[in-house]
Amino acid sequence: MAVISSFSQLNPEGIYTYADYLQWQLSEYVELIKGKIFRMSPAPSTQHQSVVRELMRSLLSYFKKNSPCSIFSAPFDVRLPEKKRATGDEDIYTVVQPDICVICNLSKIDERGCIGAPDLVVEVISPSTSYKDLKVKYALYEENGVGEYWAVLPGECTLLQFVLNQAGKFELKGIFAGQDSFSSHLFPDLQISLSDVFQQ
């Protein structure tokens, strides 16, 4: 089998599994969503990195004191099997790399990342990723039972907070902007100040 070292060697219309993904030696990061390849953006902007850093700072500070949950930032593979019992590499068609994820069921974590839905996912959205993050990955996280999803728009200094309801659908719990503060739904004692996140 030929070594896959360039995105051009892959069929953009093909269907791939996590087993395929593990064989690739690409210089860029990609995600698989239901077997389809999605290229990730080039190196994130300084603003994107700053927002991730400040959110990580708040999350790490909180969880160090309050919970055994683990927090990871990209690159970190989250594998989402379509069937609960399908855990073989060849059975997994979705591998994503959220900007930040919080995982409280530590049995989901292994040396290659996480298998199954994180409790909380954060995506910092750029113009080039807005469709994927707000449509494709939104639906994916909802379908897989992510309890809380924050979509952060640095250009607008805005955060959208979605919470999974009892029917398994995301509801928009709040839109926060400027110097607002908000609390996590899953972790009510976790308070985030957007003035810190966006360094206003």
Q: Do 72 and 122 touch, CB atoms closer than 8 A?
A: no
- From-to residues of CATH 3.90.1570.10 in the chain: 46-197
Mean confidence (pLDDT) of the chain: 92
Higher pLDDT, 157 or 2: 157
pTM score = 0.94
Q: Which CATH architecture has domain 46-197?
A: Alpha-Beta Complex (3.90)
How far the first Cα of the chain sits from its last, in Å, is: 52
Distance between CA 89 and CA 125 in Å, rounded?
29
Nearest Cα neighbor of 72 from 92, 33, 46, 98 is 98
Q: Do 185 and 192 touch, CB atoms closer than 8 A?
A: no
Running DSSP on this structure, what letter comes out for residue 52? H
Distance between CA 101 and CA 146 in Å, rounded?
10
**Per-residue pLDDT tens for 121-171?**
999 998 888 888 999 999 999 999 999 999 999 999 999 999 999 999 999
**Per-residue pLDDT tens for 182-196?**
999 999 999 999 999
Distance between CA 160 and CA 158 in Å, rounded?
7
Say yes or no to pLDDT of 19 above 70: yes
Higher pLDDT, 182 or 87: 182
